[in-house]
């Protein structure tokens, strides 16, 4: 059980770091890389379990401005939207 929690936590931290790499590629004007990394981030987001979404929410929340529950609901909503729009952005996966 503990090993599964560690794998889940590592997946979330890896997602977070890769999302930052995507933002950097976008800031540098590398559109092709940015689109690819963005699609990969979206795919990871829609495959996350509720526990992983909670962990990600804890990483990016702020206790006064963006409480964990609010961030979590936002991720859940976005995940649903991304599932529906997959045919549009999924082409960037490769």
> Is pLDDT above 80 for 1?
no
In sequence order, the β-bridge partners of residue 66 are: 62
Q: How confident is the model at residue 40 (pLDDT cuts 50, 70, 90)?
A: very high
pLDDT digits (tens, 9 = 90+) for 46-62: 999 999 999 999 999 98
Instruction: Retrieve residue 26's tokens.
Output: 């976008």
Q: For the chain, give every domain's residue range.
A: 2-93
Q: Which residues contact 9 (CB under 8 A, 6 or more apart)?
A: 55
Other C-beta atoms within 10 Å of 57: how many? 21
pTM for this structure? 0.80
pLDDT digits (tens, 9 = 90+) for 65-87: 899 999 999 999 999 999 999 99
For residue 14, CA distances in Å to 8, 11, 17, 43, 45 come to 10, 5, 5, 13, 12
């Amino acid at each position: 059980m503990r090993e599964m929690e560690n794998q889940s936590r590592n997946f979330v931290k890896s997602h977070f770091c890769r999302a930052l790499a995507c933002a950097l590629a976008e800031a540098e004007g590398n559109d092709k890389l940015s689109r690819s990394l963005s699609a990969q981030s979206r795919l990871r987001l829609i495959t996350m379990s509720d526990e992983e979404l909670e962990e990600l929410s804890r990483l990016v929340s702020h206790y006064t401005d963006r409480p964990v529950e609010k961030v979590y609901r936002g991720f859940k909503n976005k995940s649903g939207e991304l599932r529906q729009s997959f045919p549009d952005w999924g082409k960037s996966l490769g």
